[in-house]
Chain A
Amino acid sequence: MNILSNIKYDFMGHRKMALILSLTLIFISVGALVTRGLNLGLDFTGGTVVVVNFEQTASITDVRNQLENAGFANTVVKNFGSSQDVEITVPPQNDASSSEGVDEAKLSNNMLTVLKQLDASAKITKADFVGSQVGDDLIEQGSLALLYAIMGILIYVTIRFEWRFSLGAIAALVHDVVITAGVFSLWQVEFDLTVLAALLAVIGYSLNDTIVVFDRIRENFRKGRKIETRDVINNSIGQTLSRTVITSFTTLLVLLALFYFGGALIHGFAFALLVGIVVGTYSSIFVATTATMALGISREDMIPVEKEGANLDHIP
């Protein structure tokens, strides 16, 4: 079976449209990130999330009232998965001195005691407490991880290819990460630790795609025929298009399986990768190549340089 094989199409002819599309998406994403921010999960903000299971259907109102009467302020109570499971979120207690900090750590246990008075069958299925200091560290670590990943890749691609490719690849992956984060901001999907991991996986994937295209561009340049740079890029994208689409498709297949069957805990992770891979596939075709071309890549850059030393050897 063959689809999209050996496409002859002027991809670079549409680079202005692609540029407009990408800039619009980035503009919207950055706008959303600035105005609405990310709906940061417990991992980053700190606080407490407790999931309590009851044997009978639990009344959200009763649970909320019971908690309020017992003095738990600012709780958000909602169902979690089934009607018997209730998720209770408590924001971090910032005014805590060190002695109260211990109390915050025991919040889930105190809450269970109170809820057992409502229904003796109450059981904790999941309790997460994160102190605000831990969240701050995570943000720092996460940003550093992103930075180091980008630097490592920059160095590797510069060594294996050329600096223009390196910058093109970085442009594509920054594009992907910003737009994926923008989607999370726009729809206010919860952004937790697993989503951060997914973003880093998107970087890996997006690069994977970009490198395949670059590799072909390098190969076509080295074939040595006198062709316009633009045509070389067009041909290279066309030749790798079937592979790009098939791989993205199989990856999307497993991600869909993860999204629908993997359970609530992995939902955000799968969603981030779904978005990231769609954007990443687009960017490896249009963004990385356009950027590299705009930086003025040409055949001469890719031909192995005749070493001056090699000539000197012949001088007696």
Chain B
Amino acid sequence: MNRYPVWKYILILVIVTLGGLYALPNIYGQSPVVQIKPKEDVAVTEETVEHIESLLDQAKIVHNHAAVDGDTAVVKFHDLDAQRQAQDLLSKEPTLKGFDTAMNLKPNVPEWLENLGGTAMNLGLDLRGGVHFLLEVDMKSATENKKKQIRADITALLIKEKIPKKKLIWIGDELHLEFRNLENLEKASDLIEDDFTELTLKSNTGDGVYELKGILTEQSLNGIKETALEQNLTTLRSRVNEVGVAEPIIQRQGLERIVVQLPGVQDTTAAKNILDATATLEYRATHMSQADTMEAARTGRAPIGTSLYYETDGTPVLLKDRVIATGNQLIDAQATIEQQTGSPAVSVKLNSVGAARMLEFTKNNVNNFMGVVFKERIPIGKNEAGEMQYKDKEEVINNARINGVFSNQFQTTGLGTQKRAQELAMLLRAGALAAPVQIVEERTIGPSLGQDNIDKGVLSVQIGLAMVLVFMLIYYRMFGLIANIALTINVVLMVACLSLFGATLTLPGIAGIVLTVGMAVDANVLIFERIKEELRDGNTVQGSIKSGYDKAFSTIADANVTTLIAAVVLFAFGTGPIKGFAVTLSIGIMTSMFTAIVVSRAVVNLVYGRKKRLKSIAI
């Protein structure tokens, strides 16, 4: 009477096998690696890999065979010291100048398992070491900057249109504009309405007062904040590559904050300096003589009034020292498609000051070239006298022909691919006046502490699990053994789910696993106690097993759903470590219901189900 159909056994077998398979990658451990990736968008060659290996051999750094993974060369090491030495060596190697080197941890999953889609759980920073930053964008200054800009632009507009004004000031989020007569007010109102969509206009006339109020709506204030956050995100993404970290995480958190996680980084000084860096850009006229440029590149001396720069691909460019427009005057840059040719382009918007200077310059320079220099100042620490020292990074990100006269709005074309256009737009935005960021949280975990945390976490799972298994075996004997099988499968399934979902395992996550082990037996305890009760009431053995499982089910379901509610709330409100705990707890609740009810029943049926005249069971 207690028998499962064959398909149920097959289903359980399939789930357990798959669970085992996808949990398997986690037992191989992880190895420190150095990844070498070409800066250009090309794949790494066999020669480069051989070159890297010979460099490591010369320096007598013990390493495994280097392999190519996608467009990246990956070298594995036995310990963290060798990895560090190799990173130092390779990042300073002049013949590898066109490559980015980064340290990483890679799971040692065998190839056949990887082909099946098996991956190991990601380790959180508290388990692998590294640094976590929470940055807050200074939204107050972002809004202030925007307000200043609007004021300056309206002033310029009114001057251009020859409309005299009496007053123009910001009071809170309201711009107050006063005119001498109604005619001026109406003219100005129409113009402003067209050009400044972020303002909601309201006029207030009477008693000889002609006032126009421009209110920054909630929506446009949010827009300003959104832009400031996005701008900082893009800048940080492009900068963090400098740190030499393979898998940095840069994410927004909420409306004003950005999370930056750099696994494996120990020297946080360098990382903080990079976060503190400021970027700007300059539009400058290109010196047109090709001969001068080649000469300057050869000797390193630029003609007077010009400076030598290089483009990203290494082409030398001579730019005149006079600046046409700076990043502070850039309002926006977006990648678009040019209307006539359909080729990728970047459309740039300048403010009034920049527009005036651009107009004046382009009038006299049609068909000449104009370059954009991207400048980054990275603080590198204080000198003896306590003054902050900076490292300047300057690069020409675009050098294009001026096709016509333009002022506040123009397009840069001839960029080739959409990707290039997007990159240029991103860099231009990054160089525009950004709201400053401030570090509001930092968590650094040394790599040895990370390993220590893994060891302790694994040890406590093992001891906790062992104690529960022993107790269950003593208390419930045969049924205890069955519960233990279910419990072990539960842990395997949890690990498999976490690996498949790409969840990040943290120390609180391990605590969640441990806690689930303790609570997962609950369902079996409920069932077994129920069976005992039925037996005491004089029910037959088979009948007791059946009604024990049936009656306990609704209790188990209710109890687990309420715990799940708590776990989901934790997930929704928690950040970082708490989220990790909530994820393992929720997954554990679901897998434990499957193993404790379905799997344990399957085993019970297998052992006892066929015996019709069963007199007693070991429970």
Give the docked Cα–Cα distance between A152 and B463 (Å). Answer: 34
Majority secondary structure, B binding face: helix
B528-539, CB under 8 A of A: which get 1 and which 0? 010011001000
A254: B residues at CB distance < 8 A: 460, 464-465, 467-468, 514-515, 517-518
Within 8 A of B (CB), among A178-216: 193-194, 196-197, 200-201, 203-205, 207-209, 211-212, 215-216
Question: Nearest-CB distance from A127 to chain B (Å)?
Answer: 4
Name the distance in Å between A158's Cβ and chain B's nearest Cβ: 12
The listed residue (A108, A148, A193, A262) touching B457 by CB distance below 8 A is: A262
Q: Tell me which of A123, A156, A269 contacts B508 (CB under 8 A).
A: A269
Q: Are A145 and B573 in contact (CB under 8 A)?
A: yes
Q: Mark B102-144, 1 if CB is under 8 A from A, else 0.
A: 0000000000000000000000001000000010101000000
Given known A156-B565, A211-B555, A251-B518, contact A109–B272 (CB-CB < 8 A): yes
Is B574 touching A239 in the complex (CB atoms < 8 A)?
no
Whether the Cβ atoms of A145 and B570 lie closer than 8 Å is: yes
Question: Chain B interface: which of A1-9, A225-233, A299-307?
Answer: A1-9
Interface segment among B214-222, B299-307, B367-375, B440-448: the answer is B440-448
Question: With contacts A149-B565, A204-B566, A254-B518 known, is A194 near B554, CB below 8 A?
Answer: no
A156 touches B561 (CB 8 A): yes
CB-CB under 8 A for A127 and B442, given A108-B268, A212-B526, A247-B522: yes
The answer to whether A257 and B526 touch across the interface, beta carbons within 8 angstroms, is no
Q: Is the CB of A126 within 8 A of B555?
A: no
Q: CB distance B511 to A266 under 8 Å?
A: yes
| Stretch of A11-19, A25-33, A129-137, A290-298 that contacts chain B | A129-137
A250 interface neighbour in B518, B566, B581, Cβ under 8 Å? B518
- What residue of chain A has the Cβ atom nearest to residue B476's Cβ? A1
The answer for the CA separation of A145 and B465 in the assembled complex, in Å, is 30
**Residues from chain B with Cβ under 8 Å of A134 in the complex:** 134, 440-441
Could you say which of A6, A109, A130, A196 contacts B269, with CB atoms under 8 Å apart? A109
With A246-B475, A246-B525 as contacts: A263 and B518 at CB distance below 8 Å: no
Flag whether A285 is at the interface (Cβ < 8 A): no
Cβ of B91 under 8 Å from chain A: no
Residues of A contacting B533 in the complex (Cβ-Cβ under 8 angstroms): 5-6, 239
Instruction: Assess whether B488 is interfacial by the CB under 8 Å rule.
Output: no
Q: Check: A237 CB closer than 8 A to any chain B CB.
A: no
**A257 in contact with B562 (CB, 8 Å):** no
Q: Is B67 in contact with chain A by the CB < 8 A criterion?
A: no
Whether B614 sits at the interface, judged by CB under 8 Å, is: no
| B384 CB to nearest A CB, Å | 13
**Inter-chain contacts of B276 with A (CB < 8 A):** 102
Determine if B471 and A250 form an interchain contact, defined as CB atoms under 8 angstroms apart. Answer: yes
Closest to B555 in A: A215
In the bound complex, what is the Cα–Cα distance between A108 and B444 (angstroms)?
Answer: 10
Q: State the Cβ distance, A112 to closest chain B Cβ, in Å.
A: 8
CB neighbours (8 Å) of A261 from chain B are 456, 459-460, 463
- Please pick, from B439, B448, B529, B559, the residue contacting A125 in the complex, using a CB distance under 8 A: B448
Whole-angstrom distance from the CB of B92 to the nearest CB of chain A? 23
* Interface check A98, CB cutoff 8 A: yes
Assembly CA distance A148 to B566 (angstroms):
9
Q: Is the CB of A197 within 8 A of B508?
A: yes
Find chain B residues with CB under 8 A from A127 CB: 268, 442-444
- B-chain residues with CB within 8 Å of residue A124 when the two chains form the complex: 266, 268, 444, 446
- Write out the residue numbers on chain B whose beta carbons fall within 8 Å of the beta carbon of A194: 508, 511, 577-578, 581
Query: Smallest distance from the beta carbon of A223 to chain B beta carbons, Å?
Result: 12
- Residues from chain A with a CB closer than 8 A to the CB of B336 are none
Name the residue on B nearest A133 (C-beta): B440
- Interface contact A211-B558, CB-CB below 8 Å: yes
* In the complex, B567 has a CB within 8 A of chain A: yes
| CB-contact partner of B446 in A126, A201, A255, under 8 A | A126
Q: How many whole Å from B420's CB to the nearest CB in chain A? A: 35
Contact indicator A200/B562 (Cβ below 8 Å):
no
Interface membership of B563, Cβ < 8 A: yes
Interface residues of B in 64-108 (CB under 8 A from A): none
Q: Are A263 and B558 within 8 A (Cβ)?
A: no
* Interface status of B452 (Cβ within 8 A of chain A): yes
Nearest B residue to A264 by beta-carbon distance? Answer: B456
B449 in the interface (beta carbon within 8 A): yes
* A residues in contact with B460, CB < 8 Å: 254, 257-258, 260-262, 266
Residue on B nearest A131 in the bound complex, by CB: B440
Least CB distance, B448 to chain A, in whole angstroms: 7
Whether B559 contacts A262 by the Cβ 8 Å rule is no
Once bound together, how far apart are the Cα atoms of A5 and B449, in whole Å? 47
With contact pairs A212-B555, A215-B555, A242-B529 given, residues A203 and B440 touching in the complex (Cβ less than 8 Å): no
Residue B569 at the chain A interface, CB threshold 8 Å: yes
- Assembly CA distance A111 to B475 (angstroms): 55
Enumerate chain B residues within 8 angstroms of A208, measured Cβ to Cβ.
Answer: 519, 522, 559-560, 562-563
Given A105-B272, A125-B446, A126-B445, residue A265 in contact with residue B467 (CB < 8 A) = no
- Quick check: is A243 within 8 A (CB to CB) of the other chain? yes
Q: Are B464 and A257 in contact (CB under 8 A)?
A: yes
CB of A133 within 8 A of CB of B136, answer yes
Distance in Å: Cβ of A268 to nearest Cβ of chain B? 11
A240 — which chain B residues lie within 8 A by C-beta? 529
| B536, A6: Cβ atoms closer than 8 Å | yes
- Write 7 A-B pairs (CB below 8 A) sorted by A numbering: A105-B442, A130-B441, A141-B574, A149-B569, A216-B555, A249-B471, A255-B515
Instruction: Contacts A128-B444, A129-B442 known; list 5 others, CB within 8 Å.
Output: A131-B439, A239-B533, A250-B521, A253-B471, A266-B511
* Shortest Cβ-Cβ A-B pairs, 6 listed: A254-B464, A131-B440, A204-B566, A251-B518, A257-B464, A105-B439
